[in-house]
Amino acid sequence: MRKLVIATAAAAMGAALATPALAQSQAPFSGPRVEVLAGWDHLNAHDGNGSGRDGLTYGGAIGYDANLGGSTILGIEGEIDGSTTKAHFYDIVNTGDAARLKAGRDLYVGGRLGYVVSPRAMIYAKAGYTNARFNARYFDGTATTFEDSQNLGGYRLGAGVEYNVTPTAYIKGEYRYSHYGHIDGVDNYDPNLDRHQIMAGVGMRF
């Protein structure tokens, strides 16, 4: 009985020691991940005067990356963000009119292709579908106000750098461009929307 207990304890200790080694031997930048994000948000409405405004964006993402062999990484990811960005425009259609455009939640799903440049660093490019909510308020200059909220779908392109701080934790920096198209139905105000964002992130792999 005593030998059985000793053997069982030894096996358990061996398994405990092997688990970290297995985690460290896993290919870098591969496996499931979760991350939090924050950054700069610039919303642009191509309404004739090229106005745009800045704000903050924040959110989280989940994803999965696979090592295709060598230094190539292929991943999928989903993300949800919020934004503080509000844009104000004047004399858009008529002298004295004004509009306010507010960015809301933003959903994204897409893929990325990475290249491992060192055991700790990877560069990558990404592309996918984004769906964002916008609230538009238009004042025509005659005490009449029109307001509407719409969810607009579009595409996102981006590129970034990811750096492993530990075998499971990483930080990242990313630039991305999103294009959404037109808001319709707010009287004569139907801007063509896009946005530029610079993001920082902290994540964990499992």
- The predicted model scores a pTM of 0.78
Q: Does a structural domain hold residue 188?
A: yes
CATH of residue 61's domain is 2.40.160.20
pLDDT tens digits for 35-94?
999 999 998 876 555 556 899 999 999 999 999 988 999 999 999 999 999 877 777 667
**Domain contains 5:** no
Q: Which two tokens stand for residue 66?
A: 């696979």
**How many angstroms separate the CA atoms of 144 and 64, rounded?**
50
Domain assignment of residue 197, yes or no = yes
Q: Is the pLDDT of residue 97 over 80?
A: no
3 in a domain, yes or no? no
**Mind listing the pLDDT tens digit for each residue in 17-51?**
343 443 445 678 999 999 999 999 998 876 555 55
Mean pLDDT of 116-143: 89
pLDDT category at 10 given cuts 50, 70, 90 is very low
CA–CA separation, 98 and 93 (whole Å): 9
Q: How far is CA 38 from CA 1, 3, 116, 144, in A?
A: 58, 56, 24, 37
Phi and psi, residue 188, nearest 5°: -95, 5
Residue 22 inside a domain? The answer is: no
Query: Is there a contact between 101 and 89 (Cβ–Cβ < 8 Å)?
Result: yes
Contact yes or no for 76/114 (Cβ under 8 A): no
Whether 15 maps to a domain, the answer reads no
On whether residue 8 sits in a domain, the answer given is no
Residue 114 included in any domain: yes
User: Domain range for residue 57?
Assistant: 29-205
Question: Among 19, 66, 81, 38, which residue's Cα sits nearest to residue 203?
Answer: 38
Contact call for residues 119 and 166 (beta carbons, < 8 A): no
| Tally of domains in the chain | 1
Give the pLDDT score at 72. Answer: 96
- The proportion of the chain whose per-residue pLDDT surpasses 90, expressed as a percent, equals 55
Question: What confidence tier does 98 reach under pLDDT thresholds 50, 70, 90?
Answer: confident
Contacts of 172 (CB under 8 A, 6+ apart): 35, 160, 161, 162, 163, 199, 200, 201, 202, 203
The CA distance from 203 to 169, in Å, is 6
In this predicted structure, the answer to whether residue 122 has a pLDDT above a threshold of 70 is yes
